[in-house]
């Protein structure tokens, strides 16, 4: 039996450094190649993780061995006659869930950020010894070999891909245990917070139990939520048997119901990925060596469908009312309709361009791109409603996921590119598959209004009442005029953040980062500027002064009638029994 690849981690919290020692018992005698992943599974952009390695050396039996860089993220050692030990330090000051962070209060790391890959030996067993401050705790789903539960010790995984898929959270942790589907679950929270643990445990159990029942079988025996509570943050990343979460600490106490529900939606999303991504695996990514971008047009399946089910799960688990759920759908549709980019980029193209665009947003992103999360979720909704309507309730998106689980989750076969469309054709016919493919490829709106109408739900629209209006509900006060720009307060006036294509602001020659100091001869503050624009007369020119690169300019802007880009959904009461029944079958708690 081959010796495992062994890593030892020691912490240097004040310097924000993880010290890693990599021991390779049987290196390539001609020179061992080592590489750090170029990207993180579940987050599709090149991250150049190797830039965080501050120093690296190698030795064999006490003698120094040369290491030569042969690419930005890989090294080759000199010839070796015995075991190879590589020692390196990784700087960790990223508070996201994708890489690594360490200070005197606690730490976190995602495996790709720390663990060099030993080329040619990825399928060997991988082991880890980790130690740190005595008073700290450690949370991870990686199988433990030694040490007390929630303490330092030794861990193991069957191969490199499994090894890097078990992140670790450390520090003074709050532990919340609960059961779902007869299996133990744990949430570990790092950071100051005043979470209502009793309510949180009850609600997490409802989410996880519903999803366990929905899929009918679990791909894990125990699950860990590793949560970092911060002043203001939000995000998550799925892993086998765990997920890494970051949230605003106030989201956990429930005092703001909307923010608390947003956190529950994040939990629901990442947990759903245990089946749809971790068990039903995209073939394109599962076979990757993580050394280059891997293009896929199918992220609507893995992220879009999951984004549709995250809040639907909350509704079916009884954690959202029908009104709250529909409010969320209204916000999603509003978000899409405010992006002119939906006429320039399809869902399939958004998926393929993820490596270049989605993870690198900028001030003009809305004008030429969309998100496969957002429009993918709305396509999943349209697919679900179409299946229900065309089959008189015999089929739904639930049916498709059950088939995906049977054919690919249970068999552990990765899902080939485009195979989801083949399954749709098999379940609902070639016409349905062709319709979905056309929605995926089209740079156009989805037929959501018509589908909702057949469910007894009206899609209503209006102008935005303010810059912070995200839609989802009606508004009593509406503006008289609109210029197609977003801005923020600035010490000199207001600073433009976004200019929509074809808008009065664009026609006036304005640009993101411009600082508006006066409108119609009066000083522009954020509040006064918004009021003056909203109450202006469409078609009447207004004189505006602004700074660009510290040079003063003047222009004329002509507000127009506000665009109807804000939506909400309304359940109609005057519907027949058939429509009411199909709506209840879709939205009633399971």
Dig out the tokens for 432 from the structure. 């349905």
Q: Quickly count: other Cβ atoms within 10 Å of residue 12's Cβ.
A: 13
The pLDDT tens digits for 493-510 are 999 999 999 999 999 999
Contact 471, 331 (CB under 8 A): yes
Q: Region 167-195: what's the mean pLDDT?
A: 97
Contact 313, 268 (CB under 8 A): yes
Res 240: pLDDT: 96
Reported as a pLDDT band with limits 50, 70 and 90, residue 435 is very high
The pLDDT tens digits for 533-567 are 999 999 999 999 999 999 999 999 999 999 999 99
Dig out the tokens for 192 from the structure. 């100051």
Residue 283 pLDDT greater than 90, yes or no: yes
The pLDDT tens digits for 322-359 are 999 999 999 999 999 999 999 999 999 999 999 999 99
Mean per-residue pLDDT of the chain: 97
**Percent of the chain whose pLDDT exceeds 90:** 99
Q: Region 77-100: what's the mean pLDDT?
A: 97
Alpha-carbon separation of residue 104 from 191, 282, 410, 532 (angstroms) = 12, 38, 43, 50
CA nearest to 23, candidates 79, 81, 84, 112: 84
> What DSSP element (H or E) covers 156?
strand 153-157
DSSP code string of 306-371: HHHHHHHHHHHTTSS-HHHHHHHHHHHHHHHHT-GGGGT--HHHHHHTTTTTTTS--TTHHHH---
CA nearest to 156, candidates 128, 117, 115: 128
Residue 491 pLDDT greater than 80, yes or no: yes
Q: Do strands 53-60 and 84-91 pair parallel, antiparallel, or not at all (unpaired)?
A: antiparallel
Residue 590 pLDDT greater than 90, yes or no: no
The pLDDT tens digits for 289-324 are 999 999 999 999 999 999 999 999 999 999 999 999
Query: In Å, how far from its chain's centre is CA 298?
Result: 16
Q: Quickly count: other Cβ atoms within 10 Å of residue 83's Cβ.
A: 14
Res 2: pLDDT: 85
Dig out the tokens for 75 from the structure. 């090294």
Reported as a pLDDT band with limits 50, 70 and 90, residue 589 is confident
Q: Do strands 183-190 and 223-230 pair parallel, antiparallel, or not at all (unpaired)?
A: parallel
Residue 199 pLDDT greater than 90, yes or no: yes
CA nearest to 155, candidates 168, 137, 174: 168
Q: Region 476-501: what's the mean pLDDT?
A: 96
CA nearest to 237, candidates 250, 251, 227, 252: 227
Res 271: pLDDT: 98
Q: Region 268-292: what's the mean pLDDT?
A: 96
Q: Region 375-399: what's the mean pLDDT?
A: 98
The pLDDT tens digits for 117-143 are 999 999 999 999 999 999 999 999 999
Say how many residues make up the chain: 590
Alpha-carbon separation of residue 433 from 73, 144, 262, 307, 501 (angstroms) = 42, 45, 32, 21, 33
Res 332: pLDDT: 98
| DSSP character at residue 15 | G
Tell which phi-psi region holds residue 345, choosing left (phi > 0), alpha (psi between -120 and 50) or beta.
beta
Rounded CA-CA distance 460/342 in Å is 20
Domains along the chain with CATH numbers = 5-171 (2.60.40.3650), 180-272 (1.10.390.10), 283-451 (1.10.390.10), 485-557 (2.30.42.10)
Q: Quickly count: other Cβ atoms within 10 Å of residue 234's Cβ.
A: 14
Res 257: pLDDT: 95
Q: Quickly count: other Cβ atoms within 10 Å of residue 256's Cβ.
A: 12
Q: 407 CB contacts (<8 Å, ≥6 apart)?
A: 413, 423
Res 26: pLDDT: 97
Backbone angles phi, psi at 480, to 5 degrees: -90, -25
Dig out the tokens for 101 from the structure. 């962070």
Contact 339, 227 (CB under 8 A): no
């Amino acid at each position: 039996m081959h010796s495992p690849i062994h890593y030892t981690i020691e912490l240097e919290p004040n310097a924000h450094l993880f010290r890693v020692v990599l021991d390779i018992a049987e290196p390539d005698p001609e020179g061992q190649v080592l590489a750090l992943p170029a990207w993180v599974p579940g987050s599709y952009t090149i991250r150049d993780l190797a830039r965080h390695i501050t120093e690296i050396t190698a030795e064999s039996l006490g003698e120094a061995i040369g290491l030569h860089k042969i690419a930005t993220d890989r090294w080759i050692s000199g010839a070796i006659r015995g075991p190879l030990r590589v020692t390196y330090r990784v700087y960790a000051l990223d508070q996201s869930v994708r890489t690594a962070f360490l200070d005197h209060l606690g730490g976190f790391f995602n495996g790709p950020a720390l663990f060099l890959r030993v080329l040619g030996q990825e399928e060997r067993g991988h082991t880890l010894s980790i130690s740190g401050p005595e008073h700290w705790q450690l949370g991870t789903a990686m199988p433990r070999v030694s040490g007390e539960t929630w303490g330092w010790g030794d861990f193991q995984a069957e191969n490199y891909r499994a090894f890097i898929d078990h992140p670790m959270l450390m520090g003074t942790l709050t532990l919340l245990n609960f059961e779902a589907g007869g299996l133990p679950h744990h949430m570990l929270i790092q950071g100051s917070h005043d979470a209502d643990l009793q309510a949180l445990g009850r609600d997490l159990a409802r989410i996880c139990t519903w999803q366990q029942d929905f899929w009918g079988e679990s791909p894990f025996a125990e699950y860990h939520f590793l949560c970092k509570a911060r002043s203001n943050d939000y995000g998550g990343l799925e892993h086998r048997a765990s997920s890494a979460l970051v949230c605003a600490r106030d989201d956990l106490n429930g005092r703001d119901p909307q923010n608390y529900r947003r956190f529950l939606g994040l939990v629901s999303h990442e947990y759903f990925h245990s089946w749809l991504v971790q068990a039903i695996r995209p073939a394109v990514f599962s076979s990757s060596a993580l050394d280059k971008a891997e293009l896929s047009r199918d992220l609507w399946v893995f992220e879009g469908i999951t984004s549709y089910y995250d809040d639907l799960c909350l509704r079916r688990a009884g954690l959202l009312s029908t009104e709250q759920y529909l409010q969320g759908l209204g916000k999603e549709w509003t978000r899409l309709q405010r992006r002119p980019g939906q006429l320039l980029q399809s869902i399939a193209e958004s998926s393929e361009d993820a490596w270049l665009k989605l993870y690198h947003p900028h001030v003009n992103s809305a004008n030429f791109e969309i998100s496969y999360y957002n429009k993918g979720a709305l396509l999943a909704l349209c697919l679900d409603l179409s299946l229900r309507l065309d089959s008189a309730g015999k089929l739904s998106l639930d049916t498709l996921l059950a088939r995906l689980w049977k054919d690919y989750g249970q068999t552990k076969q990765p899902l080939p590119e485009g195979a989801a469309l083949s399954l749709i054709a098999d379940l609902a016919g070639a016409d349905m598959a062709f319709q979905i493919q056309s929605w995926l490829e089209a740079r156009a709106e989805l037929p959501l209004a018509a589908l909702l109408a057949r469910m007894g739900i009206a899609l209503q629209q209006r102008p935005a009442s303010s810059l912070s209006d995200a839609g989802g509900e009606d508004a009593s006060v509406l503006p008289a005029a609109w210029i197609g720009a977003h801005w923020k307060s600035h010490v000199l006036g207001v600073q433009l953040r976004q200019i929509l294509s074809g808008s009065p602001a664009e026609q006036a020659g304005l640009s993101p980062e411009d600082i508006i100091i006066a409108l119609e001869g009066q000083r522009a503050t954020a509040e006064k500027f918004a009021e003056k624009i909203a109450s202006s007369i469409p078609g009447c020119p207004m004189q505006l002064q602004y700074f660009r690169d510290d040079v003063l300019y003047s222009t004329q802007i002509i507000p127009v009638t506000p665009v109807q880009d804000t939506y909400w959904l309304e359940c109609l009461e005057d519907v027949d029994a058939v429509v009411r029944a199909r709506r209840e079958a879709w939205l009633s708690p399971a």
